[in-house]
A and B are shown apart, each in its own frame.
Chain A
Amino acid sequence: MGNKQTIFTQEQLDAYQDCTFFTRKEILRLFHRYRDLAPQLVPLDYSDKPAVTLPYELIGSMPELKDNPFRQRIAEVFSEHGDGNMTLEDFLDMFSVLSEMAPRDLKAYYAFKIYDFNNDDYICKSDLEKTVNKLTRNELTPEEVSLVCEKVIYEADVDNDGKLSLADFQHMIVRAPDFL
């Protein structure tokens, strides 16, 4: 249980353990997963904080994300510049929030950002339409999609401004025990 690894300094590992929900072993395992995506780009020594970014195509090909209909939005939300290309810290952040140890309101906050396609801090009707299409593989007609979105806004919009804010979304999550 000593410092047998040479990838991170002890201070870095302590910081990662404090800022994510992972243990030391899990952080090292995640680092190796990150590195396996592109071994030639990622160095084995992170103590001097290299600025390495992996492109979205590699992240999106991971088996955990490859079948998720929202993988592109997830990568965009957690990446530094919103383009889907992730550094190691973004990577650790993403898996920390998606893990089972993260509390529900943290997940709700990020879920809101994932569903907010145009990044304006509100889920408007066009965001909802894109969500519905992703969830049903584009198999509903546009009229049906529109009808569903109107119903959702009608039900969940508490302050009556025609779009869902973070507060509306969190209000809905509290009443939905199946939210994972």
Chain B
Amino acid sequence: FCFLGGFDAEEDLVGSLASMSSNERVKAIQKMPKTMRQKREIRNKVLKEITKKSRHRGAQCTQGVAVSFQRFGNTLSECFQQLQPWHKTLKIIGAEFGTSVLSYFVFLKWLLNLNIFSFLINFGFITIPQFLAAEPNNLSFTGLELLTGAGYFQQTVLYYGFYTNATISKVENGPSYNMQLAYIFTVGIYFVISFLILLFSMARFFSRNFVKLTKAFSVNASKLLCTWDFNITNEKAVKLQQKNLLTQIKEDLTEVNKEVLNFSVKERVGRIATHLLAWVVSLATAVAASTGVYFLSINNLELFMKGYSNDLQRQTAMLVLPVIVSLLNTLIPFFFSWLGHLEKFQTPGQHIYVTIIRNTILKMSIVGILCYYWLNIVATSESQCWETLVGQDIYRLVLVDFIFCLLGSFFGEFLRRIIGTTVCVSLGLPEFDIGRNVLDLIYAQTVTWIGILFSPLLPGIQMIAFLIVFFVKKVSLMRNCQPPRKVWRTAQMTTSFIFLLFCPSFLGVLSVIGVTVWRLKPSEECGPFRGLPSMYASVDEWIQILESYTVSKWVVWIYHNLISSELFFFIISTVVLIVIYLYWQIIQARKTMTKLLRNQILN
């Protein structure tokens, strides 16, 4: 009986495989947990079945076409894989240092791709048309401009101020290119696409990793059976991982005895007081840093507006602000991690999370205060072209941050290794600090996003910076660092980092851009929006022009009734809230069902 039963099951399998499309069939065969020999037998049976079916319908040649098409698809995907850069490098890093360090480099590569995409869009749609209508540049070029971004670069496509507000046309009465609309739509569509990309990445990570965060169920079992990193092939890294697991298991075993011990009320109050004090100190530090930056930047602006004494002096004075900001961003995190060591956290995971949150608050408050300064003070000052000023500030910030990143790698890893191996051997080799490096990347990307509106080629500069950072970090990692000794939950951490990139960083940038486009008055004499009451007014004007053509009446209708009407957004929000509520109820029902089923299995 069993033999017949097995035979039937295989017939069913062959039948179902034969009826799938060739792509799905290949995927299904690949996923089967059988040996190669069994898979090949099944595949041969399926192919015979397909030939039998096609002979019935007399479509023999289509099968030959399908096979050659599939072979072509295979070679195409092979070529595409070749184009993926650094595939081998990433594999080597993963093998020597584990998946946690690899996640930093994967994140860096992802941000690099985002910047390449944004650079291509801006260059293609805004800069290239501008080249056709370029005004001549009379300023001289000294080498210092590369550092300060001022001087010669002021009259180039690097900054907002250079772009014309005219409608460019090469040929008289030929096709014309409206620079105003191009500028605002390119920037707008880029941000919409980035929003969607970030949202989908975040959702994908959440759906995979959020299940763990709900319950502390089977913590020990998963720690034992699921966390071994099979990617590692370096002997030293394997030994470190084993030692790590050993320490964790020993800690868990001793905790079993410690669980009985409850903290007395006095101790609990003491712990809470320590934590509160540490938080107050960190927030006070962040506020103090922001205030310092604010007053320094106001001072900077005054100096810029009045002092034209020596060109060289003025240019170097402009570098003071970015250097101070980068110094604060580099040194204060060390203070925070020292603070974290003083407070005794219950688990190392808590320590990591608290330090990351504090660093994020620091960096975001500095960026926030700079945005406030740019949008409220610089925009309303009497300078000729405030957008170019802001663009220059951001350029300097990005460049100095990049230099500090390289310096940090030099001091933090290279010198530390020399100290750790020759002078003070007990320290040992340094470890790669994943959290600090990822937060640096998020900060750099935030500043780049803010600068896109004021300096369209900034993503290109950031792209080059990221490339150099990748190589420097990789070389420094291989030569100077040892594999991480502490526990680092990669999946959870990557989800948190993408969430940090989305929530304070990208949404903050969107609000800054929103305020700039809707509320601020562009400068009178430069840029594509000169003379208009706000940047958004160009869209209003365009809609008014469109109203006179009957062909495009539907665009005008969409604009008036969907995009700029509040009733529509109100209705959409209500619908979205209702859908969320329904999904929430479905989830609750499913949870009850899971509980019932689990009880059934137990009994």
Contact = CB atoms under 8 A, between A and B. Distances in A.
A23 interface: yes
A148 B75 contact: no
Contacts of A17: 74
Given A64-B233, A67-B233, A158 B221 contact: no
Q: Is the interface of B mostly helix, strand, loop or mixed?
A: helix
Contacts of B40: 15, 19
Contacts of B171: none
B208 A148 contact: no
Interface string A122-140: 0000001001100111011
B228 interface: yes
B490 interface: yes
Contacts of B26: 18
A152 B220 contact: yes
Contacts of B74: 17, 23-24
Interface centre among A106, A173, A179 (most CB of B within 10 A): A179
Interface centre among A20, A109, A136, A179 (most CB of B within 10 A): A136
Given A1-B75, A68-B230, A137-B242, A90 B35 contact: yes
A180 B231 contact: yes
Given A24-B75, A136-B246, A131 B225 contact: yes
B233 A160 contact: no
A148 B224 contact: yes
A132 B242 CA distance: 10
Nearest to A144: B253
A30 to B, nearest CB: 12
A18 B35 contact: no
Interface string A46-63: 000000000000000001
B37 interface: yes
A23 B35 CA distance: 18
Given A176-B212, A180-B231, A103 B75 contact: no
A7 interface: no
A42 to B, nearest CB: 17
Contacts of A106: 31, 33
B201 to A, nearest CB: 15
B13 to A, nearest CB: 15
Contacts of A93: 35-36
A115 interface: yes
B598 interface: yes
B479 interface: no
Contacts of B230: 68, 98, 180
B246 A178 contact: no
B519 interface: no
Interface in B225-271: 225-235, 238-239, 242, 245-246, 249-250, 252-253, 256
12 contacts: A18-B43, A64-B233, A66-B233, A128-B224, A135-B242, A137-B242, A140-B246, A148-B252, A155-B219, A159-B601, A178-B226, A179-B222
Interface of A: 1, 14-21, 23-25, 63-69, 80, 89-90, 92-93, 96, 98, 103, 105-106, 109-111, 115, 128, 131-132, 135-137, 139-140, 144, 147-148, 151-152, 155-156, 158-160, 169, 172-180
Given A135-B224, A140-B250, 20 more contacts: A16-B36, A90-B35, A103-B31, A135-B242, A135-B245, A136-B246, A139-B246, A144-B249, A148-B224, A148-B252, A155-B218, A155-B219, A155-B221, A160-B602, A172-B222, A175-B218, A176-B226, A177-B209, A180-B229, A180-B230
